[in-house]
Each structure stands twice: as structure tokens, then as C-alpha cells.
Structure 1
């Protein structure tokens, strides 16, 4: 069961408080019924308030604009041929106070709703045990919102009381005080929440394990920051390792096969700790079949997919490069757009670092082939139409006629091939030296085969927290403590899992797992960051990992020449939305982050 917004709670929010225009818009509405703040003190109100915040996660996770902020302009990705031109990929100097305005408002609206739940919830009449769990949900979600805000913007306003009167003043709290509040909320939530998912908040909502995970990550993040406390890395290591040791209690674990973490049947399985639900029922959002995007629409599967339909039977694959404009030179399209191969947005392509460093080892490490789609099976009819007839002749290339559903039309082996190999292959081979913003391997982790049409958005949940990260948090924390033995231990658990191949014998799998092990002497910060990429490539999060570890500028300089010529030291924080700054009309002005 998925969690959705059950009621529309009309309250004065911080987003409204910081914007006279948006506040007026709310006040001018003529709702059919008025829901007063005290409604949050009823069983339906407290449940609906929490569900409403979960619903709002959908307006960020899975949507193109939000996901872009998490992966663009890092070491992992270059701009694809159809990348949005807002400065995040390669110029950085295009980012301004209007770039992140929508996200700020959503998080603060949710924070105020949660403050209302925490204020009025105790008077709801719910049984003590149930109330405790509901308040734990509210505290976890408030901490989750503030974690995003403080790691994105730095010092931000800190509100822990329910606001019912509009104001035109506000101040940014210290980063230290925001972290203190997050840690307090997560500490409470880690005991108040149920050990495993419990009605009515089903699907993959917050539990004790989710709260412990975020608590460990918060200590880890603060430990790297300018407001670090002496025991931060110790706390992060202890909490993460304890969570892993007690995974059975919480019903969480790693799948034996890395690919199973992304199998559609396992979207709500043991490795997913927190997800943002999506649905094609318009009661829960603005889902539109064939739409290009929109609030709450999950287009994550499309972002890292090249436009495979542009490859034609006349494409020359025995030269050093594939033509940038693939439809020139005649020929018939070798593929048509279908559900299995997905809708191509071509927003981002892997950087060379991904192939030469992250996935350089592919004999024992299976994650490359489980991350990328590298084969496209012919699906066109003899006339190039869109009705696949399995076994029928398809397009003809200079090397032979492809058979629908049988022959490979396009193959990206991930290594260079000889001219002789190309001559024997009826389709087109694209090798790493030929990758471009137009042609590149596709990330397949998020494919949704339940869609009805090739252009439909996905209704798969967006996994926000995956249990595998707990091992990397533990490894990173132990590394910062100078304990490389334990750091290697937790890295090796993840790496040994990456070696598992169900097609191999147990003897070969054991041998491959041992080959993946590293020694304590091999543990460095860069190795840990490479391991994050191997495990989480294109699960949008890379900007946060690099900022947390104070590695953004250094790694961009190493691996992203597109962005390196423009990135500045202040880019480790995002700009405060300008419309929020303009709305401060009383008291001291709220300062913008330096550089913007």
C-alpha cells in the first residue's frame, strides 16, 4: 500500500510567510470547507498532516528539476545533447536566486504542517502507543526536511513552533542549531517509530531503521562541517554499524544480487528504507499519459537515456566516430521508441571517469552490466513501422538484415573492438571512443515496464534511501576515525555483494568475492567516493556526497573539464531563493549566500 495525501490542510505556512504574494493567493481562495489548525489535533487531522508531507516528497523526488540539482555539475555526468541549459551542468555561472525557489517553499510548508501535528497531536485522543508513533513520524519528517535545507543552503530559518500569523520578517539560524534540532528529532524518532512499517503508514515510510540511518548520516555530515563535534564520526560509525548488526530486527538487508535492488518487484523490498510513491491515479497528482513532466511525475528513468531511435541502418560503425547527427546520410531507423527501451530525454551522459575509474574492473564486479543497458534488440518492421513482429525481417544494414526480437541492432560493449569484429556484426557497434552527448550507454536501474505507452511517466516509487548506504556511511566514518580496518570491512561487504552473478557456480562466486576484497591500506577518501559511484551511480545524490566530503571542487577539477572552468568555492552552497529574500520587509534583511 502506498501513502498518499488524504486531506487538504489549509494552514499558513512558512513559504507563505516569506512571500506576501503567495500568502495573498492562499487567502484569496474560496475553499468548499475550512479546515482550522486545531483539526491537526484530531485522529484524521494528525494522520492526514503526516500523509500530506509524504505526498509532497513526490513533488521533488522523481521530477526532473529536483533530480537535476542532485547529479549535474559533478564528476559523474556531462551534459547530454538535450540537457537543460540552466547552468548546473557545465557553466555554474548560470545558477542564481531563482534556480531553487520551488524546493525551499515545499520544505518549509511541510515543516509548518509537521509543527502543527506536534503541537496539536497530543490532544488527538489517540492511544498513547499510536500517538507516540505518529509523533515519531512527524519528527523524522521534520528532521528530513531540515537535513536537506541545511546541507543545500547552509544557515536557514529554524522554526519548531506552529505559525498561524503571517509575518514579513525572518532570520537565518546558525548551522549548529539546525544540526542540533535534526539530531534531537531523529534521536526521538528512533525510539518512537515502530521497528518495521505499521499501518496506516505503509509502503516504505519511516521506521526505527530509517531514523537511525538518517541519524548516522547527520552525525557523519556534521563531522565534516565547520560546526563538527568531537564525537560526530564515532557516533556515525557506532549507529551505522549497530543498525547493520540488528538488521534482522528491522526487517532490512541487502539483496544477494545487486540487480535485485532495482528489480521492479522489489521496489518495497528489504533494501529500500524510504521511497517516494508515484501513481497514475490523478487523485494523487497530475499524472498525464505521455506528458513530458510535471509536479509529482516520475521521469527519472528518462533522464539518462540516449535517443536510440536516431541510429539508422546507414550509420557507419567502422569509422572512429559515430556522426553527431545520426539521421543524416539516409537509411532507415534501426529502432523505434517502445516501452521496453524507454523514453529518451538525453539529459546527462556518463563522464569518462565513470568508465575509466568507477567501472574499470568488470570481471569480478558485476555492477557495470547491472547499471547500464548496452544492447538494443531490433524492433522495427520491414517498413520501419512501430509494430514489432518477432522473427520478421527488420532493417537491412551493409552487413545483413536484422530479425525483429532476435538480432541486436545496437551494441555498446564497453570496450574497443576490431574492424573484423565490426564486419561480422549485422547491427551497429558503439565503443567508448565513440561516446558523445548524443550516443552513450543508458542507465537502466529505474526502467518501468508497467507503463502502457512508450512516452508515459513512470509510476515506480523513487527509492530515496537504500540500505546499502549504511555500509558506506560506516566505512566513511571509520575512515575519518583513522580505523581503516573497519572501513575496509564494511566496504568489502558491499564489494563482495557486487561480485555475485547468479549464472556462475558457487565456487566462482566465492573466488570473485575474494577478488573484490580490499586491504585497509587501500582505503582512501577517493576510493570511498569511487565506491559510492559504483554502488549508487545515477541514483541522484552525487552533488551531496561531494559537498559533504569537501570534495566537490577537487573532484570536478580532476574529472569534469566542462564544469571546472567555471566552478567557484561558493558553489558548495545553493543560493537562497531571491523571492524569499525580497519578501523580508520587516527587521534585518536576510543575507544571500556569498557569491550569488
Structure 2
């Protein structure tokens, strides 16, 4: 994610650790910059830092292996690579306890940290000194889109847990469950606000929430909500989902989105910064920055490594950046997943899976290798 403004100074809330330091019974804190949320977020220029920070934790789900294991592992689509036992709590539902299954705990923490930033911004925007009503509505639209984004992942993963719309400033020692419909009432209202107030394009700024992103996600929220209903209520949400999706499709010229002629173009590096912008296929893109300090764990998107095929050491091949490092290989497709592709009519298989590796080191075929690899 590229930002033109400084990173958020610190976190909204810091966990205090009690340190036993012998004679040091009282430690005075000193903030030399005097930069706090109460001072920085009181101007439009400062307020954008909380908006920018609210985007960050998307990369914990989309970019690391955590989101894949939370959302897709343990289904009929993937095996552990070599049918191993890595993250077996989520891939095979084996040995899952409250203290195991790290992606579950890490993702839970990231989602709530992000929700709290969104709540903080939404609650404080009236004190941010905006004089331009359009700018103010756009920033609130971003925060509401992001809150809906995070809460959709929360409710679809953990169900009816705690729903909060206020900034958490002090530790909470109790939690009260909210119903799934209550989550969706907030998600839908947030996305409706975002769709009405976000711009079609942010120009040179890439990977911000836009009108098409909010409308596309709103269609998904309506569809998801329908499955928690029955009878006429379900039909109402199904109809809203269809109508909203059709609005995105029929206004592709206005919303600057259309399908690419060739599916493989989605993964072409040259298209990286256009897919979610003017005329790109993607409704929304979670991106990383060339400034690694702005990314999670000072790394870019490492998700592709999860699906690496073992190639290193095969005839004529050695490890390379172009082909990817195999150290984080985690999952392999099942026959069920492969059979979903009809290669006679669907070019998405060829656009998604690699079957050919060109030799990247000097090599002469031997009779033994010819026999081994047919």
C-alpha cells in the first residue's frame, strides 16, 4: 500500500507490562514528540494517518499464510504438501485446543486491532477539522468500508461474537455476544455509506477503497446475509444481492472495471498496479509497498510460496527468485480441485497453474534422468 502521509505513530492502545527492576519503583513516561491520537487526528492531514493505518491488517489475511489456512485449508480443495501435518489443527482438525492453531489466534488479534482503528476514526472524524464535506465523507467512507471488510471476516469465521462500534481505550474484561444479523446490519449500513460516498478513482493513489469496491462487497454482504434468513426475508436479500451485482456489471464503463480478455493477464507483473484502478478487473486490491517498513513483518506478499511445487534439484533446475523459494511450501491441490477445471472450455487452469519449468542452469540429459522423468 502506498501512502503519501506518515505512518500512524504507535498503536491506538498499548499493552502495559509490569517490570520488576529492583530499586526502580516508579517509571515516568515521556513522549518527546508530543504526538498522540488526540493531537494528530485533529486535522485533516493528521486524520488520514488513522485511515491509512486501518488498511494495514488486511495484509495479515491476504499476503501471509494465515488467511489461507483460516479460509481454505481443511476443505476438499487442499492437502498438506506431501500430505504432511503442518498446521494440522486447521488442515485436518487434529489437536485443536485454545492454545494451538497459531493462525487462528494471530488472525483474531489482527482483525480486532483493525476494527478498533476503524471505530476510532469513525468516532473522531467530527473533531478532525474537515472543512470540505466531500473529503470528510470520503475518509469516513474508507473507514466504514474497512470496518465492514474486517467484520465480515470476523462473523464468517467465528460467528456471533462481540460487536463493537466504539473505540476501545482501556482493557475490557467482559465480552457480550451479538447475533449474526446484528453484525450484518452494521456491515450493510457501512457499505451503503461507503458506496454512496467513495470516489470512482483516487487517481495515482493505488489500493484505496473505491465505489466499485464498496458496491461489489455490498452485493456479497447481501448474498451472505440471505443464507442466515428464511422465506421472504431471504428472498429480499437475494434480490438485493442480484440487483447490486447487476448495477456493477451494467455500469462497468462508469465504474472503470471490466473483465480482462485473458485470465492469465491477472497475474502478469506489468499489470500489478492497474488491476484495481482505471479499467482493471479487480474490484478491490490488497497491496504491499516497496517500502518494506510499511508491510507486515517487513515483508511483501508471500502467499504464492504456500503453493510452490517442488522443482529445485530436478534436471536443469536450481532455486531462483523467478521460480520461487520452496521453504514455505504448505499446500498441494486435491484431485477434487483439479477436476473443477474444464481445460477444453476454461482457460483459468492454464492461467493459474505452472506445468513447465525452463532449465535455469547448465545441464545435459543423462539416460537415467530420461528414464526417471519420462
Same fold (TM over 0.5): yes
2:373 corresponds to 1:428: yes
Q: What secondary structure does 1:41 align onto? A: coil
Compare the two structures and name the one with the higher helix fraction.
2
Partner of 1:111: 115
Instruction: Work out which of the residue numbers 174, 188, 195 in structure 2 matches 1:169.
Output: 174
CA shift, 1:244, in A, is 0.7
Partner of 2:347: 366
CA shift, 1:362, in A, is 1.7
Partner of 1:307: 310
Distance 2:178 2:299 in 1: 30
2:136 corresponds to 1:131: yes
TM-score w.r.t. length of structure 2: 0.85
Q: What secondary structure does 1:273 align onto? A: coil
CA shift, 1:108, in A, is 1.6
User: Is the 8 Å Cα contact of residues 143 and 186 (structure 1) preserved in structure 2?
Assistant: yes
User: Is the 8 Å Cα contact of residues 69 and 91 (structure 2) preserved in structure 1?
Assistant: no
Q: What secondary structure does 1:396 align onto? A: coil
Compare the two structures and name the one with the higher strand fraction.
1
| Distance change (3 Å), C-alpha of 1:29 and 1:84 | farther
Structure 2 alignment gaps of length 5 or more: 19-26
2:230 corresponds to 1:223: no
Q: What secondary structure does 2:45 align onto? A: helix
Q: What secondary structure does 1:373 align onto? A: coil
Distance 2:184 2:115 in 1: 15
Partner of 1:55: 56
Q: What secondary structure does 1:309 align onto? A: coil
Distance 2:293 2:16 in 1: 25
CA shift, 1:193, in A, is 0.7
Encode CA deviations 1:320-362: one digit per residue, 9 max, x unaligned.
xxxxxxxxxxxxx54111122211233111101123x212x32
| Distance change (3 Å), C-alpha of 1:230 and 1:358 | closer
User: Is the 8 Å Cα contact of residues 223 and 237 (structure 2) preserved in structure 1?
Assistant: yes
Encode CA deviations 1:271-291: one digit per residue, 9 max, x unaligned.
1222222235343246xxxxx
CA shift, 1:75, in A, is 1.6
CA shift, 1:223, in A, is 0.9
CA shift, 1:58, in A, is 2.3
Partner of 2:36: 36
CA shift, 1:89, in A, is 5.7
Partner of 1:477: none
Q: What secondary structure does 2:312 align onto? A: helix
Partner of 1:274: 284
CA shift, 1:97, in A, is 2.5
For the pair shown, the structure with the greater C-alpha radius of gyration is 1
| Distance change (3 Å), C-alpha of 1:373 and 1:70 | same
| Distance change (3 Å), C-alpha of 1:237 and 1:198 | same
Distance 2:113 2:7 in 1: 15
Distance 1:4 1:70 in 2: 32
RMSD value, Cα: 2.7
Partner of 2:214: 211
Q: What secondary structure does 2:140 align onto? A: helix
Encode CA deviations 1:505-559: one digit per residue, 9 max, x unaligned.
xxxxxxxxxxxxxxxxxxxxxxxxxxxxxxxxxxxxxxxxxxxxxxxxxxxxxxx
User: Is the 8 Å Cα contact of residues 66 and 107 (structure 2) preserved in structure 1?
Assistant: no
| Distance change (3 Å), C-alpha of 1:29 and 1:90 | farther
2:337 corresponds to 1:354: yes
Instruction: Work out which of the residue numbers 149, 155, 160 in structure 1 matches 2:160.
Output: 155
| Distance change (3 Å), C-alpha of 1:296 and 1:34 | farther
Q: What secondary structure does 2:364 align onto? A: strand
Distance 2:66 2:85 in 1: 9
Instruction: Work out which of the residue numbers 355, 367, 372 in structure 2 matches 1:398.
Output: 367
Partner of 2:24: none
User: Is the 8 Å Cα contact of residues 113 and 162 (structure 1) preserved in structure 2?
Assistant: yes
**Within 5 A, what are the aligned runs for 1:321-340?**
333-340=315-322
Q: What secondary structure does 2:365 align onto? A: strand
2:267 corresponds to 1:257: no
Distance 2:55 2:242 in 1: 29
CA shift, 1:376, in A, is 1.5
User: Is the 8 Å Cα contact of residues 5 and 52 (structure 1) preserved in structure 2?
Assistant: no
Encode CA deviations 1:18-60: one digit per residue, 9 max, x unaligned.
xxxx4548x9986543443333232133200010111222233
Q: What secondary structure does 2:151 align onto? A: helix
Partner of 1:241: 246
